[in-house]
């Protein structure tokens, strides 16, 4: 178990800016995420103050170098679960576990919903977006997990661990490394009456399910919000002027808070979050 004062979930400009302030404030700080955000993928950035025209990847890497230069640490990987812990918060990746007094969410915008007929119809009626939140209600029942990455595997393992009969549905994608039941067939639709009753494969076969847990891509701000009871509005995390959520010790910044989706805004909000995190820890 690795312990930090501050863990920023994300490697983009909001997380990195906050980490710079926290590390310069003397707090042991970790940035954790993957090289996959919108800034890293951007071909060119031409509207950032005094930056001229610069590649998104170059700007991304400059920020991380600046963070490590002032003492922040970086871990590359997916955070698949955040829960409350003895020191404040407990975070898991497929490879490691961490404890932090303060967590900053800077995970970008929520991932897209799968294009699967019936997802909207059965949302909240058997379709769930959080195994930690809803898995308890489906113990000893047959459930599915939709996804093909590490986050989906993590959700499937959690559900198996609490007694669910789990099948991981990859919807035509290669099977990830997972010891449980995996179905790689293409999916057609969900079916049921007032509640979800199962899933239809592209070949017409029906598989009975009590619930389908969507875990597409990587865990997003929306997933962590459900895990921790964070207030959201229009799919964005609600924060005050200090970048605080309704959960003490949990801050958010950048695209996941909605509004203008620009590097300049993310950097500025990350700076506010980093400064306020230092104030919060000093009061503790």
Q: Are residues 234 and 105 in the same domain?
A: yes
How far CA 55 is from CA of 65, 121, 189, in Å, comes to: 16, 41, 41
Torsion of CA 81, 84, 90, 92, to 10 degrees: -10
Residue 115 in any domain: the answer is no
pLDDT in the model for residue 114 = 87
Which residues touch 277 (CB under 8 Å, ≥6 apart)? 6, 18, 21, 22, 25, 27, 102, 104, 251
Burial of 95 (0-12, 13-18, 19+ CB in 10 A): exposed
Each residue's pLDDT tens digit, 25-36 = 999 999 999 887
Q: Is the pLDDT of residue 262 over 90?
A: no
Each residue's pLDDT tens digit, 142-187 = 999 999 988 899 999 999 999 999 999 999 999 988 989 999 999 9
Indicate the angle between helix axes 13-24 and 263-283, nearest 10 degrees. 30
- Domain boundary, last residue among 159, 188, 214: 214
Residue with tokens 């989706």: 261
pTM: 0.76
Residue 171 in any domain: the answer is yes
Q: Residue 216's pLDDT band (boundaries 50, 70, 90)? A: confident
Which residues touch 42 (CB under 8 Å, ≥6 apart)? 55, 56, 57
- Domain boundary, last residue among 160, 179, 214: 214
Q: Are residues 168 and 204 in the same domain?
A: yes
Query: Which helix (H) or strand (E) element contains residue 24?
Result: helix 13-24
Residue 133 belongs to a domain with what CATH number?
A: 3.50.50.60
pLDDT in the model for residue 260 = 83
Q: Are residues 206 and 246 in the same domain?
A: no
Q: Residue 48's pLDDT band (boundaries 50, 70, 90)? A: confident
| In the chain, % of residues over pLDDT 90 | 69
Q: Are residues 15 and 86 in the same domain?
A: yes
Q: Are residues 185 and 52 in the same domain?
A: no
Range of the domain at 143: 127-214
Residue 120 in any domain: the answer is no
Q: Are residues 235 and 102 in the same domain?
A: yes
Q: Is the pLDDT of residue 78 over 80?
A: yes
pLDDT in the model for residue 246 = 97
pLDDT in the model for residue 110 = 60
Q: Are residues 235 and 279 in the same domain?
A: yes
Q: Are residues 150 and 226 in the same domain?
A: no
Residue 119 in any domain: the answer is no
Task: Please tell me which residue, 264 or 87, carries the higher pLDDT value.
Answer: 264
- The DSSP line for 37-93 is SHHHH-S-B-SSTTT-SB-HHHHHHHHHHHHHHTT-EEEES---EEEE-SSSEEEE-
Residue 122 in any domain: the answer is no
pLDDT in the model for residue 43 = 67
Q: Residue 112's pLDDT band (boundaries 50, 70, 90)? A: low
- Domain boundary, last residue among 158, 189, 214: 214
pLDDT in the model for residue 284 = 82
Q: Is the pLDDT of residue 111 over 70?
A: no
Q: Are residues 169 and 201 in the same domain?
A: yes
Residue 99 in any domain: the answer is yes
The number of folded domains in the chain is 2
pLDDT in the model for residue 133 = 75
Q: Are residues 42 and 177 in the same domain?
A: no
- Residue 98: strand, helix, or coil: strand
Residue with tokens 């404030």: 25
């Amino acid at each position: 178990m690795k312990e930090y004062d501050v863990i920023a979930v994300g490697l983009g400009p909001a997380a990195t800016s906050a980490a710079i302030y926290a590390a310069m404030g003397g707090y042991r700080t970790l940035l954790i995420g993957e090289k996959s955000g919108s800034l890293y993928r951007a071909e060119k950035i031409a509207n950032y103050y005094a930056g001229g025209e610069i590649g998104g990847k170059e700007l991304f890497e400059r920020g991380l170098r600046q963070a490590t230069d002032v003492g922040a640490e970086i871990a590359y990987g997916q955070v698949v679960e955040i829960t409350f812990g003895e020191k404040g918060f407990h975070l898991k990746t497929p490879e490691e576990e961490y404890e932090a007094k303060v967590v900053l969410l800077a995970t970008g915008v929520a991932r897209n919903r799968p294009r699967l007929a019936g997802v909207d119809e059965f949302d909240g009626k058997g379709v769930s977006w959080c195994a930690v939140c809803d898995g308890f209600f489906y113990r000893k029942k047959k459930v599915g997990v939709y996804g093909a990455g590490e986050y989906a595997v993590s959700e499937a393992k959690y559900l198996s661990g609490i007694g669910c009969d789990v099948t991981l549905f990859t919807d035509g994608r290669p099977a990830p490394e997972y010891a449980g039941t995996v179905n790689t067939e293409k999916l057609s639709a969900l079916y049921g009456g007032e509640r979800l009753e199962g899933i239809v494969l592209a070949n017409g076969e029906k598989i009975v399910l009590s619930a389908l847990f969507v875990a597409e891509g990587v865990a997003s701000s929306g997933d962590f919000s459900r895990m921790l009871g964070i207030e959201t509005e229009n799919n964005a995390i609600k924060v005050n002027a200090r970048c605080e959520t309704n959960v003490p010790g949990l801050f958010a910044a950048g695209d996941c808070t909605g509004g203008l989706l620009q590097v300049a805004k993310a950097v500025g909000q990350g700076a506010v979050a980093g400064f306020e995190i230092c104030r919060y820890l000093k009061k503790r």
